[in-house]
Structure 1
């Protein structure tokens, strides 16, 4: 395959594949791609016209089958396919690995691009920038030669975190710049840092052929037990709103020669903000990826506050693009929030949530895309990872698609097949007539096409692999990411100013036991005993010993306790399956949990309470490790490096250690730069650290800042916006702007 380029003076450079059948038209001394291959210049091919004019013209030319394909968003796709993480079958479909050893498309990918007219692809792992660029070129060449020549809009979940938060969250062969998790960006309390991240990440995305970011996640994480806490900007509405605005501005805005119109252009990446209207209030902290967590509850009557990061942040940008170009509703049933039909169904199925609130009340004009696999059938048990048709389990797959369309949604996440959408169209024709349904489909087509036109993909979707390799993870981007990591570290305790510790001292770092676990998609991760910090990096700062008696100080690296809130063992021994999610390390008995759950499921169990049930986190050994190290060090300083994906109860060990340094996913070098004093800590807590599990159980799932926080041996309270530097408690413009008082119920 060869790619040819044609330059327009004062206009865009056109790129096209010699194998696609596309020819170049010359009109009025300008050059245009004949994507429809009809020998004349159609409006949608005319780059002189606005994106809106072009999108409307193209939508009017598309068949219902082509629009149905445009409404699809693929299941997770790895480049090459052998890098995927769905062995065997996934959602009833075999995972195809043909083409796995090159940048060629797999047979599955060719099938859904050709036969289902799919044009939105979710990219997971990529082998390298060069392979990603070549795969993009092959895919774009294929679709350029089909039908009306609509380019592919590739997308990605967040992939810049220093510590990947999920097995599909990987960069380009380790080459991509490394930043903190989203929660770590929040810990900087600095919108400028977040905007800079968006600017860097968008350039790297475009170099990988990625033009839509399935981010930022701007749910208010108002329940401290929620497993997706670390993907958010925390619990505070004002901080989340400001950071959401900066993030989207950074991703979507092109400037100077790279801008084509209205802030859009060749550096722009569509931002799909998630999850409308907020998924951070699942009852008991459970998550809606599974049936046991399908309900979002509002015991504090605080639904409206969860909308603020969307309506005042992502939908009211400072930049020219004005609003996030796409939004994703969450899986959850927003319990008893539908004030029209009074339906308790998943958010994408709820016309009140999507049409009345999002579209009409708040005037949102962009694409609405469902979360992944909501139209697939539910799994056999509530703890199985599969389809998530919450509240509409009784409907057929086609009926679910129809209900989603009638609720005002444009696109179906995780669906590779157009058949059910075409069936849904026929249902609409039967109920409303063909004219109505044609108009409804074109309405979504225009929204979807705008997000392709505005990025210049119709003119040139192709990449230069060698240029991609230069851009992705270049030294400048790496430095910016590393600086953000340093700014995200939060010093919680520094007894008698133990830190900083000069280089050249001797450190003891005990190995950490990690119990057998399961990944996001249920794959077994074997138990292991390992050093939690790379000793080769440590040796650049300190001497390393395995003998505590020889050490000047110790570093113990741990993470917060984890749990999902459901136990298969409890269910199989006669219980309901519902157990507490604990934020403490010792075995926990939920004596303060509510007596009866707010909502249950008549299909399963009406009362999901877990009062007086017990749970032991899989990493309870982290507490043992700290206490054993404290004893072994015989009074010498013990530093705890605490990786937080959500709040933790630290009362069990805080008084036993000298230093607690919290991080949200950083490189080991960043930790050591702080410990050694090469850099000074400046991060602030984007969350509350609860005093105990009693306050966790008594807080409302939907209300921020409503817990009693831990008070340490120094008299400091681990409240939202707390952090230390070498001089003591940080009080600056950030704390003045964002610090909150605890909400009293």
Structure 2
């Protein structure tokens, strides 16, 4: 046994037992029994079952759940809004400190805000969603402050910090940093699919779990395992692709890597991070590609009846892991109304409100025993306009908030994402007591409390929730993890075209470029657009390489005339799918989502939409047949065509950030080489362009022949588009890719 004290944290390391740690200021004492030490979290002077680390997590959770008041259970069922550490002015997520802004307060950046104190003390919240942090060290200190305060409160229930995916490399620079990064950088979700190697996702999860734990995070809001069979969906790039078998392999590798602590019999321990797989029953089938964050995109459709396949990443992977933790800890249903799926009750309501989807399928048929947590903000009253970014209580808008909570709870939901007020849940309990009886409601609430507490016990937080900030700074963004992430970025890049027409002597294609060339890189121009929160953004110009082209590659010049080669950075087309102007002019507001740059008129869209019906609309047909839309970033195409004209017989290389499948025929013939990437750093792209990495990635998607092919595919069916064949006869289908020597061998399942 070893006893240490550092920064006010006492720690006892026990041979053959659990390490325990507690804060001096919390008032917690230590109990000795049978030669071992335990924390007296309840401050009773006796060892209670939930304090006894020798018992199973299930036994301990059940004991503690039975001791909690309904108000305390309601707090466990909440999930805080996004928290930035510290909350800087101008950011979307604010907080105050003794009534002052962070900068006015003079507080340390790791100080707990007024709102966070209220979460813990008044609302009994123990699940907090972390967004931006100033540094790993600040995150660790803030986590410690939260845990200290939680330890002073009744029962000493620790805080379970969570995070959305935070390792994306998209905004990284043109130089690879081997260490000292804020966190290791990896491809986006579909980039893992482009590697065609589940071990890459597994390595990410192992590294990320270590980094998450060093930041204080014990729940990952991911992976996003929706089968993305609809190419226009704005969350396509975050998924693991649309091919079900590859998605299943990646899901298992990701969840096993995140949740497993090596050397623990059941897999749970100090390195474990709970995974919350999303989004049940699959969010990748939004009609015409619209997204359910917005009421105009609330409907998921299944035109070919392929609903069952979308369940498989959950039912055949996340719920049946290969590792010792057995099953993903939690599931998040999506906002969508899975239109026409409920044949039992015939109700088209948001997934969390569907008895059929949650109670009958998820809890019943598939026997999921973990946490079900709603997506963020579904219980409040709806926005007045269909375009608003607000509550998504689809199909249950006539209920009170408490009635909505009760409906979700009786279906089998345990937790409400983004809700920080316990009142509606307590009121739901009272309504439930009148409807089902107090005994039944108490049992149901305790069941959710037990599930929620098990995940906190799994990660060892009741014994030792405290971090060493100096060690956290060493772990997060360390050289080893950064190297692994960079290798994954390289592996995910797909070479689509490498023409021999302007290739140097001795090469089969124009790539790799020789180093030392003069390179022209045009700026990108993006027109007025809509932000994620539906805020109007002005037109802007951006430099694809704001830090310049590293000298090891060549010299950046100001015009095509001076250049030896043009390097054109583009992003896949993006547009606004809903227009209040169209609505005001007598239309229904719905526009086609275009995957091409030039104006697109939907001539082959459905004449009548599959789904429709909202209390804010006096029609049900959401068709956009005959309407036209144009990409915000149409000028990306102009850059390619203008470079081709200006460069004459000199090469033009296109580097495409692919957020969605894209129509290639507008520019492919004008490019000598096309490099596709899925959210990686400029440095990784330049490595492929200049010979630092011979590409191995393959398309994890299909590139459509044209927009007609997009309209003719089915939202629920994978790999059913007519694909693009380029000017050299290569088919941009799933699994296609090239290296410097030519086309990669055909991919086989």
Gaps of 5+ in 2: 1-6, 173-178, 501-508
In structure 2, the residue matched to 1:8 is: 14
In structure 1, the residue matched to 2:526 is: 514
Secondary structure at 1:73 match in 2 = coil
In structure 1, the residue matched to 2:506 is: none
1:79 CA drift (Å):
0.8
1:381 CA drift (Å):
1.2
Q: Decide whether aligned partners of structure 1 residues 282 and 498 sit closer, same or farther in structure 2, where only a CA change above 3 A counts.
A: same
Gaps of 5+ in 1: 166-171, 738-745
C-alpha separation in 2, matches of 1:350 and 1:364: 16
C-alpha separation in 2, matches of 1:529 and 1:303: 42
Contact 1:83–1:127 (Cα < 8 Å) also in 2: no
C-alpha separation in 2, matches of 1:211 and 1:526: 38
Q: Decide whether aligned partners of structure 1 residues 537 and 12 sit closer, same or farther in structure 2, where only a CA change above 3 A counts.
A: farther
1:95 CA drift (Å):
11
Aligned length: 723
C-alpha separation in 1, matches of 2:406 and 2:85: 32
In structure 2, the residue matched to 1:347 is: 351
1:383 CA drift (Å):
1.3
Are 1:365 and 2:369 counterparts? yes
In structure 2, the residue matched to 1:403 is: 407
Are 1:693 and 2:697 counterparts? no
Which structure 2 residues correspond to residues 126-165 of structure 1 after superposition, within 5 A? 126-163=133-170
C-alpha separation in 2, matches of 1:85 and 1:686: 35
Q: Decide whether aligned partners of structure 1 residues 164 and 577 sit closer, same or farther in structure 2, where only a CA change above 3 A counts.
A: farther
In structure 1, the residue matched to 2:214 is: 207
In structure 1, the residue matched to 2:497 is: 493
In structure 2, the residue matched to 1:61 is: 67
1:588 to 583, 588, 600: 600
Which structure 2 residues correspond to residues 115-514 of structure 1 after superposition, within 5 A? 115-163=122-170, 175-256=182-263, 259=264, 261-496=265-500, 497-514=509-526
1:30 to 36, 43, 46: 36
The CA RMSD over aligned residues, in Å, is 1.8
In structure 2, the residue matched to 1:571 is: 583
1:38 CA drift (Å):
0.3
C-alpha separation in 1, matches of 2:303 and 2:571: 30
Q: Decide whether aligned partners of structure 1 residues 99 and 295 sit closer, same or farther in structure 2, where only a CA change above 3 A counts.
A: farther
1:102 CA drift (Å):
1.9
In structure 2, the residue matched to 1:641 is: 655
Secondary structure at 2:676 match in 1 = strand
Q: Deviations over 1:123-171 (max 9, x none)?
A: 0001101110110000001011111110000000000001269xxxxxx
1:88 CA drift (Å):
7.3
C-alpha separation in 1, matches of 2:697 and 2:91: 35
Using structure 2 for the length normalisation, give the TM-score.
0.94
In structure 2, the residue matched to 1:108 is: 115
Secondary structure at 2:575 match in 1 = coil
Contact 2:583–2:589 (Cα < 8 Å) also in 1: yes
C-alpha separation in 2, matches of 1:204 and 1:369: 24
C-alpha separation in 2, matches of 1:95 and 1:289: 32
Secondary structure at 2:409 match in 1 = helix
Using structure 1 for the length normalisation, give the TM-score.
0.95
Contact 1:128–1:173 (Cα < 8 Å) also in 2: no
Which structure 2 residues correspond to residues 599-614 of structure 1 after superposition, within 5 A? 599-603=611-615, 604=617, 605-614=619-628
C-alpha separation in 2, matches of 1:624 and 1:385: 33
Q: Decide whether aligned partners of structure 1 residues 725 and 369 sit closer, same or farther in structure 2, where only a CA change above 3 A counts.
A: same
Q: Decide whether aligned partners of structure 1 residues 311 and 139 sit closer, same or farther in structure 2, where only a CA change above 3 A counts.
A: same
C-alpha separation in 1, matches of 2:49 and 2:75: 22
Contact 2:526–2:634 (Cα < 8 Å) also in 1: no
Contact 1:241–1:313 (Cα < 8 Å) also in 2: yes
1:29 CA drift (Å):
1.1
